[in-house]
Amino acid sequence: FLNADKSDAPKPTAHVEYTFGRRAAQGGADRKDVAHLWEVSGADELQAEFARADHAFLPLPTLATAVVVIALDLSQPNDCLPTLERWLRRLRERLDAAYERLRRRGSKLPDQLLSRARKLFGSAHEDRDAVQHFGVPVVVVANKYDAFQGQDVEMKKVLVRALRYFCHTHGASLIFTGGLERPVQGAMRTQLQHYRALLNHLVFHSAPLRVAK
């Protein structure tokens, strides 16, 4: 995401790690937009503790510009749905609590964020009433698809459909990427480029990705 030319395999995140990215701000040659990135991994107890920390996990001042990425490891397919469900639940609990606090202060931000999410989803979409939007963009990236390709065909269909269902009903984006083969080539490289373009659009408000049909 931050370095499109980097070809070496990224190291696994250890517990909680912080980094940042900068891009030239639109309309200002001397200005830089800065994105603060927090990565969480490790034991579920640590992840749960981080998710309960109001000052760390989606603090109130960041809600208007926050983007959440949930990474799934397709080389461990049995863990994908439980991981996704767990983080969707944590995200829902955190945002519900944050929105309640803001509304008690008289803030209109929660309604504005949810309205924006519904508008982006499409007010004319046939599933508009069935989707429970978070109000902040959520991207689910199912990584290591190259390891997943050798799994049982029916199992793959069931898992992919389940992931699509959960993401769709929560208004989240879903994208599959490789991760084992280096350098990433072919279709997996294209998917990785789509992932980078999506994050750049959500984080730095670059032009949205246009997929040729």
Confidence band (pLDDT; 50, 70, 90) for 2? Answer: low
Mind listing the pLDDT tens digit for each residue in 59-112? 999 999 999 999 999 999 999 999 999 999 999 999 999 999 999 999 999 999
Nearest by Cα to 182 from 14, 10, 39: 10
Structure tokens at 199: 């994050």
In this prediction, what percent of the chain has a pLDDT beyond 70?
Answer: 85
* d(C-alpha 22, C-alpha 25), whole Å: 9
Most confident of 35-44, 114-123, 181-190: 114-123
* Amino acid at the residue 187: A
Nearest by Cα to 58 from 90, 17, 26, 33: 90
CATH of domain 16-204: 3.40.50
Q: Where are the domains of the chain?
A: 16-204
Instruction: Report whether the peptide linkage leading into residue 208 is cis, meaning its omega lies within 30 degrees of zero.
Output: no
pTM for the complete prediction?
Answer: 0.85
Question: DSSP characters for 115-171?
Answer: HHHHHHH-TT-TTTTT----SS-EEEEEE-HHHHTTS-HHHHHHHHHHHHHHHHHTT
